[in-house]
Amino acid sequence: MGAPASTQPAPAGRVLGALTAFDAFPKVSDDFFHRTTSGGIITVVAYAFMLLLFLTETRLWLEVRTTHELVVDSSRGETIRIDFDVEFPRMPCAWLSLDAMDVSGELHLDVAHDIMKQRLSASGAPVSDAERHSIGGGGAAPKQPAAAGGGGNGTVAAAKCGTCYGAEDSEHPCCNTCAEVRAAYERKGWTALRLSDVAQCAEDDYHAAIKAQEGEGCRMWGRLEVNKVAARAGNPKSSVQWLWLWGVGNFHFAAGRSYQQGTVHIHDLAPFTGKALDFAHRIRRLSFGPGYPGNINPLDGAESSAVLAAAAGSGSGSSSSGGASRSGAAGARDGAHAGGAAAAGGGGGVAKAPVGMFQYFLKVVPTVYVDRANATIASNQYSVTEHFRESVVARGGAAGAASARTLPGVFVFYDLSPVRVVISESRPSFLHYLTNLCAIVGGVFAVSGLLDGAVHQGQCALRKARMGKLM
């Protein structure tokens, strides 16, 4: 006869039985459920609201957020890349020169540049292929004087020694080209001669190009590399030295060949005597570094007519001056509007401008953009104030650019901020996303349960009240 079977539960069963006491979700038989119409309505609304919150939370999780941080810019020895594209509907390419200068007036002769220009017709259509432009003075290369002929034996005599008009020295006793005469006067710090008085300049194609291109326009575009910190000799403890430490500088489009006389930058306007220099322009693009997401350049698409309108609204008299500010999206919208209107009218869409100086004062803020992969883009953003100063003809001078007291042209002055903006991309983690989803589920069910209980209690109280009235 076998042993009786044990009635003690197995160890695994005892453990599972003990876990039953911790059940926080006791089950209720369906016989004790009472479903109501109001409960169904509340459930449908709760599920719809929960779905809406799910979609909103998912969109917020997928959206890339950016944070802005301001830090002191302690970088040294860097350069700034300036990309520009400017159209001059009524300024020929042979008349234009482009120079980059620092605040002391010294030319940046060692800047790396890649600048192109293209001749435009009066209607704005290109009339020639693009050609490279040399910074710090334009014009075609002067022709070299022919060497004196030799005899029949094939020998060539030494080239003749041209005069430097009193500016020769022991190292440079001869000036055989127009450029050498100008260089000799620059070394002496003298005022340059009129080109028409220099025999070496008679063979230069510069004057012929000025006459041949009269009535045309010009488009100039390219890139400048300028030093971020403007170096200047002097006492490093001087307050002026520290004011210039952050590289206030400018680049400008003006007429005539340029040269340096001491610390003064001069443009030779003698070939344009009696001619009106119309620097009406359209800035297609102007940026201080590569683009990054959300970057807005206020001067993209800007026209000179907007500067003249601002000057007319704030100034009075024949010598008007005024200013207007652009920054952020508002400036971009104004520029886009002006650019669209100009595009509709072609090259002649830009209104004519009086002889004067267009000035753009830019506050450039170094900016670093860091994406979610920690890849950085070093660039700059800027705000701008526009100004126009009409040229006043000197007393006793004839009407024209050569006798104007203000150098006609387009000047862009930039001032670097000592504060750097760091823009960082970020996105919440997946665990944070799941936590928010759980909070949505629990919160919606809790609120809907409270609402359903309140409605059910109200219905019960109303039913009892009606039954009391009928009795």
315 within some domain: yes
394 within some domain: yes
Q: Is the pLDDT of residue 152 over 80?
A: no
Give residue 220's pLDDT band: very low, low, confident or very high (50, 70, 90): very high
98 within some domain: yes
Do 292 and 375 have their domain in common?
Answer: yes
Separation between Cα atoms, residue 291 and residue 368, nearest integer Å:
11
138 within some domain: no
% residues pLDDT > 90 (the chain) = 22
Do 207 and 222 have their domain in common?
Answer: no
Q: What is the number of domains present in the chain?
A: 3
Whether this prediction's pTM lies above 0.85 is answered by no
Q: 331 to each of 89, 91, 130, 283, 452, how far by Cα in Å?
A: 23, 26, 30, 13, 54
Do 175 and 239 have their domain in common?
Answer: no
Given a contact cutoff of 8 angstroms between Cβ atoms, the answer to whether 195 and 206 are in contact is: yes
Do 56 and 187 have their domain in common?
Answer: no
Do 220 and 337 have their domain in common?
Answer: yes
Q: Give the tens place of pLDDT for each residue, 101-114.
A: 765 455 664 454 68
Radius of gyration of the chain from its Cα atoms, rounded to whole angstroms: 39
Sheet containing 282-287, strands listed edge to edge, beginning at the edge strand earlier in sequence: 131-132, 112-120, 217-227, 79-88, 282-287, 302-303
Given a contact cutoff of 8 angstroms between Cβ atoms, the answer to whether 386 and 326 are in contact is: yes
Do 221 and 171 have their domain in common?
Answer: no
Q: Is the pLDDT of residue 6 over 60?
A: no
Q: 37 to each of 41, 343, 446, 455, how far by Cα in Å?
A: 6, 65, 19, 11
Q: Is the pLDDT of residue 153 over 50?
A: no
Do 262 and 390 have their domain in common?
Answer: yes
Q: Write out the residue range of the structural domain in which residue 48 sits.
A: 39-63+441-471
Do 222 and 209 have their domain in common?
Answer: no
Do 123 and 175 have their domain in common?
Answer: no
7 within some domain: no
204 within some domain: yes
143 within some domain: no
Mean pLDDT along residues 49-78:
88
Give residue 21's pLDDT band: very low, low, confident or very high (50, 70, 90): confident
Do 181 and 292 have their domain in common?
Answer: no
Do 464 and 339 have their domain in common?
Answer: no
148 within some domain: no
Q: Give the tens place of pLDDT for each residue, 399-458.
A: 455 555 678 899 999 988 889 999 999 888 889 899 999 999 999 988 988 888 888 788
Do 402 and 304 have their domain in common?
Answer: yes
pLDDT at res. 288: 93
